[in-house]
Structure 1
Amino acid sequence: MVSSYGVKPGFKLAAFATLFAISVVVLGSFTRLVDAGLGCPDWPTCYGHIWAPQTDEQINRANEAFPEIPVDLEKTWPEMVHRYLASLLGLLILILAAVSFRYRHRPEQPFKLPLLLLFMVILQGAFGAWTVTLKLWPQVVTAHLLGGFATFTLLWLLTLRLRGAPTGLRFSSAPRQLPRVLAALTLAVVIGQVFLGGWTTSNYAALACPDLFTCQTQWWPEADYIAGFDLAHPIGPNYLGGHLDVPARTAIHMAHRIGAIITTVMCLWLIWRLVAIRFAGLASALLLILVAQVTLGLSNIYFGLPLTVAVLHNLGGALLLATVATVNFTLYREAKHV
C-alpha cells in the first residue's frame, strides 16, 4: 500500500537491495585486489564443486584438471562468496521487477527502472562468467566493475523514487536557475573516471607511479598511451598480474591521475553551484565523499596500495557516482516543480 508519505510498494526491498549491492561491490573489489578473480577457474562451479574441493583427493583431481591454476583455498572462498551474494542480489532485483509489474498501473510507480535493473543484473552475471572463462580479460573486468557501480547506483535511485518524499537534503527553496547541465557533465566525468579506475586495476597499473606528486620522480615520465589504452587485447592469455610493460601501465596511471584532477574540479564547481542555489545538504554530502575519495586515492600511492585503503577507494568511487547521480535526480525533480 502507498502511505501518506508517498512510499510506494517495494521501497523497503529496494533499500535492502541497495545495501546488499554495495556489499557485493565491496566484496568484488576485495576479491580482485587479493588476486582471487581466478580463485575458481571454472564457472559456475569451483573446480567442478558447488563450493570448492576440500579433501586431498578432491584437490589433487582439481589440480590435474586445472594445472595452470592450482587450488588455493584462500582465494576460492572470496570468489565463491562473491558469486553467491551476486546471485542473491539478482534474486532481489527479480522480485523488485515482479513487484513493479504487479503495481505498474499505480500513479508514479516506477516500472522501466526495475526492468533496466533486471537487464543489468543479468548482464552482470554474464560479465562475471566471462571474467573467469576469459581469464581476467581487462575489457571484461573493467565492464564488470562499471556494471557493479551502475547496478548499485540504479538501485539507489529506485529507492529514492519509491520513497516518494523529499530526500531531506534540501534546506530551502531553490531558484529557477538549476545547474542541470553542469550536474550532467559532472556525472559524465565521474563515469569516465570510474572507467579509468577500472582500467587501472584490471591492468595492474595502480603502482606504476609509486611517488607523490611526481611519477617515477618525474612530472611527465615516459608513457605509452597507445599501448595502455589498446582495447583489443587478445583473448586467450591469463591476464592475472597483467601483460603490459611499464610505459603502458604508466600511461594508464597518469590518465587516472589527470582524470582525478578533472573530476575534483568538476565536483567542486558543482558543489559551489549547489550552495548558491541553497542545496546545502547535497553540497555537503558531495564534498564529504569527494574529500574522502581524494584522500584514499593519495593514500593508496603513499602507502603502497594497502588492501583496506584500496577496497575503501573502490567503495568511495561507488558512493561518489551515486551521490552525483542523486544530484542529477534531485535537480530533475525540482525542475518539474518550478
Structure 2
Amino acid sequence: MKKAYKSLILASCLLALVVVSLGAYTRLSNAGLGCPDWPGCYGFLTVPNETHELSVVEQNFPDAQVEPAKAWIEMIHRYFASFLGLLIVILCIIASKHRFNKQSDTQSLPFKHSVILLALVLLQGMLGMWTVTLNLQPFVVMGHLLGGFTILSLLVLLYLRTKARSTPANFAMHNGSFFMATFALGVLVIQIALGGWVAANYAAPHCSGLPICSNIELFSIESVFHLPIGQSNYEFGVLPFETRLSIHFLHRIWALVTALTIFWVSWKLYNKEQSEQIRGAIKLVCLVLVTQLLLGALIVHFQFPLLLTLFHNIMAAMLLLTMVRLCFLLTNRQGVAI
C-alpha cells in the first residue's frame, strides 16, 4: 500500500507541475476569460462549436464572442486541475483510512498534511471561479497563482516525507542551517508573489531595457500602491503605465535581493555542511537560480516572447521546489531516497 501511495503522490506532483504550467500559459496567452463562466464553458462541459450550442451561447451570453482557441486553453487547464483535485482527494482518503485503522504503518502516512492539501485544493477551486467571475481581478489572479505554487510545493514535500528513511531531526541543533535556508525561501516566496503581481497587472512589457527600464524616470514607490480596484473588467490591465513600470522594476530589484540572499545562504551552508546530499541540493539550487536569472534577462532582451516567459514561470516553480527540498534535507540528516 505504501509503495502505491508514494507512486500516487509522485503522479500528483508531476500533474501539479503540468497544472501550474498550463495556468501560466493560460495567463500569458490572455485566455483567462476564454470561458466567461465556471466550471463549464458557456454552460457546456466542452467548448461549444455546434450550431445549436452557439445559439444557446448567443441567448445566454449576448455580449460574448466565442474564441475557440482561448476557450480550449482555459478548459484544458480546468480539466487537468480537476483531475489533480481528484488525486488529492484520493490521497486524503487513503491517509484517513490508515489513520483510523490499526495497521502497524498507520503513522507512516501524513494525515494532517493530506488534509491541508485538500483544504487548499478547495480554496484553489474557489479562487479559480473568482478569477473568472471577477474578470481577472489582479488580487484574485495572484492568489490563484500562489495557491498553485503552494499545492505543488506541499505535494513535493509530502513525497519527500514518504520517501524519508528517518524522522526529521531536531533542526535547532544544527547551527541555524535550517533557519538560514527558510529565510532564503521566504525571500524567494516574496519574489514569486511580485512576479505574480506583474503578470496579474500585465506589467511585463512596461519595463523594457536592461539592466533598468528605459523609462526609469517614471518609477516611484508611491505608484506601486496604486491598486487595481473598482473596475468591471481587468483583462489586459487597468493601471496606468507608470504604475505598471514601477511594479515590474520592483520585481527586478527584489530579484537581485533574492539572488544575493540565496547565493549568500548557499555559500554559508556549503561551507558548513558536510553531507554530500545537502551539498548536492545546494548546487542544484544555485544552478536553477542562475538559469532563472539568465531567462529573465533573455525575456527582456527579446521583448517578452511567450515561450521564454512560460519557461521563466516554470523555472520559478523549480527554484521553489529545490529550496523546499533543501529545507527538508536540513531537517532529515539521514536523507531521502530520491
Report the TM-score when normalising by structure 2: 0.89
Q: Which residue matches 1:171?
A: none
Question: What do residues 75-112 of structure 1 show as CA deviations (whole Å, max 9, x unaligned)?
Answer: 01010011111010000000001111122262343111
Distance 1:67 1:210 in 2: 39
**Aligned partners of 1:229 and 1:252 also within 8 Å:** no
Q: Describe the shift of the 1:137–1:332 C-alpha distance in structure 2 as closer, same or farther (beyond 3 A).
A: same
For residue 107 of structure 2, give the secondary structure of its aligned residue in structure 1: coil
For residue 334 of structure 1, give the secondary structure of its aligned residue in structure 2: coil
**Aligned partners of 2:228 and 2:238 also within 8 Å:** no
Q: Which residue matches 1:172?
A: none
Question: What do residues 118-159 of structure 1 show as CA deviations (whole Å, max 9, x unaligned)?
Answer: 011111100100000000000000000000000001000000
* Matching of residues 30-69 of structure 1 within 5 Å: 30-69=25-64
Q: Describe the shift of the 1:69–1:255 C-alpha distance in structure 2 as closer, same or farther (beyond 3 A).
A: farther
**Aligned partners of 1:40 and 1:79 also within 8 Å:** yes
**Aligned partners of 1:228 and 1:244 also within 8 Å:** no
Q: Greater CA deviation, 144-153 or 156-165?
A: 156-165
Distance 2:155 2:315 in 1: 17
Q: Describe the shift of the 1:68–1:190 C-alpha distance in structure 2 as closer, same or farther (beyond 3 A).
A: farther
Matched, 1:242 2:237: yes
Distance 1:193 1:158 in 2: 24
**Aligned partners of 2:226 and 2:239 also within 8 Å:** no
For residue 70 of structure 1, give the secondary structure of its aligned residue in structure 2: coil
Q: Which amino acid aligns with 2:25?
A: F
* Matching of residues 247-286 of structure 1 within 5 Å: 247-276=242-271, 277-278=273-274, 279-286=278-285
Q: Which residue matches 2:229?
A: 233
Distance 1:87 1:230 in 2: 35
Q: Which amino acid aligns with 2:260?
A: V
**Aligned partners of 2:5 and 2:91 also within 8 Å:** yes
Q: Describe the shift of the 1:61–1:158 C-alpha distance in structure 2 as closer, same or farther (beyond 3 A).
A: same
**Aligned partners of 2:165 and 2:334 also within 8 Å:** no
**Aligned partners of 1:183 and 1:328 also within 8 Å:** yes
**Aligned partners of 1:274 and 1:282 also within 8 Å:** no
Question: What do residues 223-272 of structure 1 show as CA deviations (whole Å, max 9, x unaligned)?
Answer: 244443345612x5111100011110011001100110011011101221
Structure 1 residue runs of 5 or longer lacking an equivalent are 167-174
For residue 98 of structure 1, give the secondary structure of its aligned residue in structure 2: helix
**Aligned partners of 1:178 and 1:335 also within 8 Å:** no
Distance 2:58 2:299 in 1: 35
Number of corresponding residues: 320
Q: What is the RMSD computed on CA atoms of the aligned residues?
A: 2.0
Distance 2:326 2:247 in 1: 29
